[in-house]
Amino acid sequence: MSGRGMSDPAPIRNPHRFSDSMSLGDQPASPAFGSTPGRGAVVETAGRASIVGPAAFFERLQQAMATPASSLALLVIDIDGFHAINQAHGFATGDRFLEMVGRRLANRLRGDDLVTRLGGDEFAVLLADVFDSASAVAAARDTLRALDDPFQLNDRPHQVAAHVGMSLCPAHGRDVRSLLYASRSALRSAKEAGIDVVVAQPGAHRDWASSWLLPAVADRHAVVTGREVRDGLLRGEFKVHYQPIHNFGTGRVETLEALVRWRHPTRGLLAPANFLPAAERAGLAHVISVRVLDCACDSLRRWRARGHQQLRVAVNLSAQDFRRDDFAGTVASTLERHALPPSSLELELTEHEQLDDDSAVLQAAELARHGVALTIDDFGVKYSSLRYLHRLPVRALKVDRSFVHDVGRSAASNSIVSAVIGIAGKMGLRLVAEGVEEVRQMNELRRLGCHIMQGFLFSPPVPADAIGGYLDRTAPVM
């Protein structure tokens, strides 16, 4: 294949593919852009780029990145005004419009490029064989010209604009997650600045971690006292971040896990490991739980009002919560205050031996009676897991990320994950895999029969305002 770049004096595109007449370019839908985006089906369009589902796209991206000396660009394209199209013409026309966009992009690209719809109005393009950022920008601009001609929607012409965020491998990252993050950061800049194409900054893939994740562990040895925790609570320094949990069976983000952070005045953003032990010792863990619960329910009510009506939140609890006689009542009244049904809440318990005393079991039963689902978190790491299944009204298990880590690479991890899938299946429980960081893990988990997952591959935990955009624009990676 011939490369793109300085040594490529010919036009980047073959003009015959520019014949973007409505009657040709906007021809019928390809299955990969249907209403269930991303089943991984590959649709070869002779002589043009392939349109694939997101799972296949990321797999092919990963393979391409693993090829020595390969240089490629990842474009994330956001179409302006898609919501207005949906509103003006209805969802069916909106879907058809997105199909046309995908088809036009594919028609414009080369045979060894790839296109996928990530979800919502966001598309990704893999440009193979890119030499430098200047030629990649030229190729990205050229790709956008596919959208120049108006789209015919219900017999009315509709002009759209789009922005592109672009990153290059290896300059901006050597793994899918970093590259995707770098492209999305660049896209944000493009939209903010009103520029058509923005290339990621060098080191942008590190921002992915540093913006939300690294600060939470930067001061990993921070030791705080119970008194400091209390002062922090009084000053309102605790925040809730959210991590999406994807269900590949339904194609939706079905739950957001609420994870507490402390925006410490001098130490930066602290992770729970830095302060929860001190909070527990000082008897403040319950105060944190109640605040996180209230905050998560408040956010959920807003997201549901914005159209994500099936969305749920998962809140982590501490053993202290279950030792309070009024805990089930507190949960019920919080839900009522935010006008949320009990089915919108999941409560996650990690294994604490103390948890199977009688009062804890009573509270758990009371919660289950209210219709709130209980999940056993970090399932498998402690000896008491199976005993919990026996005593508590559990609805879901989260297989611990230590087992997810080596899935597909170690026979032992595969066996453990399969066994947990078997337990969940036999007991009629939902099974969630956490800590999914790589496409390999995602594929292997799906092959083994686990279809609900969360992890950095999809998104790190992010503030509520960032999740709002994620839900609106970024459909599940499937």
Q: Binding to Mg ion by residue 321, rule CB under 5 A?
A: no
Single out the segment in contact with ligand C2E by CB under 6 A; choices: 27-35, 47-55, 220-228, 269-277. Answer: 269-277
User: Which span sits near ligand C2E by CB under 6 A: 21-29, 146-154, 314-322, 356-364?
Assistant: 314-322
Site string for ligand C2E, 14-53 (x = CB under 6 A): ----------------------------------------
| Strand bridging mode 162-169 / 197-199 | parallel
* Crossing angle of the two packed helices 411-427 and 439-448, in degrees rounded to 10: 50
| Interacting residue with ligand C2E among 272, 342, 393, 468 (CB under 6 A) | 272
- Measured distance CA(203)–CA(226) in Å, rounded: 37
Q: Does 289 bind Mg ion (CB under 5 A)?
A: no
| Closest of 429, 402, 427 to residue 417, by C-alpha | 402
183 belongs to the binding site for Mg ion (CB under 5 A): no
Give dist(CA 336, CA 321) in Å, integer. Answer: 19
Indicate the DSSP class of residue 39: S
* Token pair for 210: 């540093």
Q: Which of residues 203-262 bind ligand C2E (CB under 6 A)?
A: 243, 259-260
Letters for 360-399 (x = contact with ligand C2E by CB under 6 A, - = none) are: -----------------xx---------------------
**Any contact of residue 377 with Mg ion (CB under 5 A)?**
yes
**CB of residue 382 vs ligand C2E: minimum separation in angstroms?**
12
- CA dihedral sign, ordered 148, 153, 157, 161: negative
Interface region with Mg ion, contact rule CB under 5 A, candidates 105-113, 174-182, 267-275, 314-322: 314-322
Pick the closer one to Mg ion by CB: 74 or 376.
376
Per CB under 6 A, the segment of 134-142, 285-293, 353-361, 411-419 that binds ligand C2E is: 285-293
Among 151, 303, 456, 470, binds ligand C2E (CB under 6 A): 456
| Geometric angle at alpha carbon 90, from 88 and 92, rounded to 5° | 140
Q: Does 342 bind ligand C2E (CB under 6 A)?
A: no
Return the H-helix or E-strand segment holding 52: strand 50-52
Whether the CB-CB separation of 242 and 461 falls below 8 Å is answered with yes
Does position 317 interact with ligand C2E (CB under 6 A)? The reply is: yes
Who's near 85: CB < 8 A, 6+ residues apart?
Answer: 93, 94, 97, 153, 158
CA distances from 185 to 88, 143, 333 (A): 30, 20, 40
Binding site for ligand C2E (CB under 6 A): 243, 259-260, 271-273, 276, 285, 288-289, 292, 316-318, 348, 350, 377-378, 401, 434-437, 454-456, 461
